[in-house]
A and B are shown apart, each in its own frame.
Chain A
Amino acid sequence: MALATRTERSPSLIGFVWHSTVGKKAVMAVTGLVMLAYLVAHMLGNLKIFFGAGEFNAYAHWLRTLGGPVLHHEWFLWIVRAVLAASVVLHGVAAYQLSRRDLAARPARYERRRARTSYATRTMRWGGVVLGLFLVWHLLDLTTLTVNPNAQQGHPYENLVASFGRWYVNVVYIVAMLALGLHIRHGFWSAAQTLGANSPRRDRAFKATADGLAALLTLGFVAVPIGVMTGIVS
């Protein structure tokens, strides 16, 4: 009898990984880290608002010429957008599928239940939904300018100041950034655990980095609407 020398083709790494709970979490971790890296750059870029309209608008223009002359005008931006869109979709779909599975795996509640996890840990799911909704608003407001009161293409500084001139926009923005901080606080450490980078020796360092990143990003982003509200940016 001849032995089978080759079994049927195994699925690709991504396909294989996507079909297990551990692998799907790894996809969430990687896409989360991609988005986190973008947010750090985004937050630092935002702070240029404090150097005035000229510098901020020039920075926004430079982003469109980045990668040239190899890349055509705005191509760099579109590549970043494509990577981010893919990350958001994969992160969201994986979270949805895993959450449905998690809820089904624990159908009955206990009579008495003391929450022994941190607030950040407990709010990951709904916090993520809040961030997703905020993202839609944020793009309509400052990228497509659909709901922006100024809506002048090529004048991000003026558009931003006009948008943050409305109190409810500031409230929505600040609440969303607090949600972001909480999400990163648990998410960054969780990603280290999911990707197997964590160990008892590195645990404290990862937790501290997660707290630091969460605080840095929240403060950095919130500084902009506060700057507009207090008249430092006008």
Chain B
Amino acid sequence: MKLTLRIWRQRDADSAGAMTTYEVDGISEDMSFLEMLDHLNEELILAGDEPVAFDHDCREGICGACGMVINGQAHGPERTTTCQLHMRHFRDGDVIDVEPWRAAAFPVVKDLVVDRSAFDRIIGAGGYVSVPTGAAPEAHATPVPKEAADLAFEHAECIGCGACVAACPNGSAMLFTSAKVVHLNVLPQGAPERESRVLGMVSAMDEQGFGGCTNTGECAVACPKGIPLSAIGTMNREYLRASVKRR
């Protein structure tokens, strides 16, 4: 396959960036999108140019490190992570635009790499459960209803890649935050911090400069893990309940 890539190049956080055009040849349809970029980078290095910087780690679709906007869609045309997107979803001769996540809370570090530590600060504000240390507790000490376990697992699938923020026209982190809140609030282990968790995480989310939710639903369409839009509704309910119970 022969492709024309238009990639966002930006030297560092303080420099202005621009879309730069590259031609790549010899792309196999079995390559992943990241392997295609590796191929481009090898050519750039051989030519003495700076390779394109992009985040990646597991390349198995479970770490959430890789993320880029491909042709205006977070993680590209398939519901998967960029590492699991294969070139067979593109055609020979295609022009492909590759940009970093765009959000005020995710500043560009270099090229396609953004700083997603705003997510870590949201997690730090309540995305955990407190457990006493020591020997592992007896498995049946805390029964978890099947429905709660399923719901928690569905929302625990969030890998924190940031596609929801990238896809949202308001740069909102509501889907990410709500996935964490629902995951932990639905479980008995998360019950002691049920109120403080949602209040703390929403407050941290607002402090990081993410936008608000206008219920456009773009986040849930972009999410590679299929976190449902209903998570946001549940978090809103939890937030209002906790606001009333706060004293």
Q: B-contacting residues of A (Cβ < 8 Å)?
A: 10, 13, 16-17, 20-26, 98, 101-114, 116-117, 121-122, 124, 186, 189-190, 192-200, 203
Complex contact B202–A20 (CB within 8 A)? yes
A-B contact pairs, 7 of them (CB 8 A): A23-B243, A104-B209, A112-B71, A116-B221, A194-B236, A195-B237, A200-B228
B195 in contact (CB, < 8 A): no
Residue of B nearest to A114 (CB): B72
Name the A residues within 8 Å of B111 (CB-CB). none
Measured between alpha carbons, how far is A203 from B170 in the docked complex, in Å?
23
Measured between alpha carbons, how far is A31 from B210 in the docked complex, in Å?
24
Name the B residues within 8 Å of A16 (CB-CB). 243, 246
Q: A-contacting residues of B (Cβ < 8 Å)?
A: 6, 19, 69, 71-73, 97, 99, 102-105, 168-172, 202-203, 205-206, 209-218, 221, 228-230, 232-241, 243-244, 246-247
Q: Given contact pairs A101-B212, A102-B212, A194-B213, enumerate 7 new A-B contacts (beta carbons under 8 Å).
A: A20-B206, A105-B103, A105-B105, A106-B169, A106-B211, A111-B97, A195-B237
Name the B residues within 8 Å of A109 (CB-CB). 102
Name the A residues within 8 Å of B246 (CB-CB). 10, 16
Complex contact B214–A190 (CB within 8 A)? yes
Selected contact of B243 from candidates A13, A25, A108, A190, CB within 8 Å: A13
Complex contact B104–A107 (CB within 8 A)? yes
Selected contact of A196 from candidates B71, B206, B228, B236, CB within 8 Å: B236
Measured between alpha carbons, how far is A113 from B104 in the docked complex, in Å?
18
Complex contact B236–A195 (CB within 8 A)? yes
Residue of A nearest to B8 (CB): A111
Complex contact A26–B240 (CB within 8 A)? yes
Residue of B nearest to A17 (CB): B243
Complex contact A124–B214 (CB within 8 A)? yes
- 3 tightest A-B CB contacts, nearest first: A196-B237, A105-B211, A105-B171
Given A112-B72, A114-B72, also A98-B228 (CB < 8 A): no
Distance in angstroms from B141 CB to nearest chain A CB is 30
Residue of A nearest to B217 (CB): A117
Complex contact B99–A106 (CB within 8 A)? no
Measured between alpha carbons, how far is A102 from B229 in the docked complex, in Å?
19
Complex contact A189–B171 (CB within 8 A)? no
Measured between alpha carbons, how far is A193 from B71 in the docked complex, in Å?
30
Measured between alpha carbons, how far is A106 from B236 in the docked complex, in Å?
22
Name the A residues within 8 Å of B19 (CB-CB). 111
Given A105-B103, A199-B233, also A111-B6 (CB < 8 A): yes
Complex contact B211–A121 (CB within 8 A)? no
Name the B residues within 8 Å of A195 (CB-CB). 236-237, 240
Complex contact B214–A121 (CB within 8 A)? yes
Complex contact B238–A196 (CB within 8 A)? yes
Distance in angstroms from A99 CB to nearest chain B CB is 9
Distance in angstroms from A14 CB to nearest chain B CB is 10
Complex contact B244–A13 (CB within 8 A)? yes
Measured between alpha carbons, how far is A111 from B214 in the docked complex, in Å?
22
Distance in angstroms from B98 CB to nearest chain A CB is 9
Selected contact of B230 from candidates A17, A124, A198, CB within 8 Å: A198
Selected contact of A101 from candidates B73, B102, B211, CB within 8 Å: B211
Distance in angstroms from A197 CB to nearest chain B CB is 8
Residue of B nearest to A95 (CB): B214
Interface centre among A13, A25, A105, A122 (most CB of B within 10 A): A105
Measured between alpha carbons, how far is A121 from B217 in the docked complex, in Å?
10
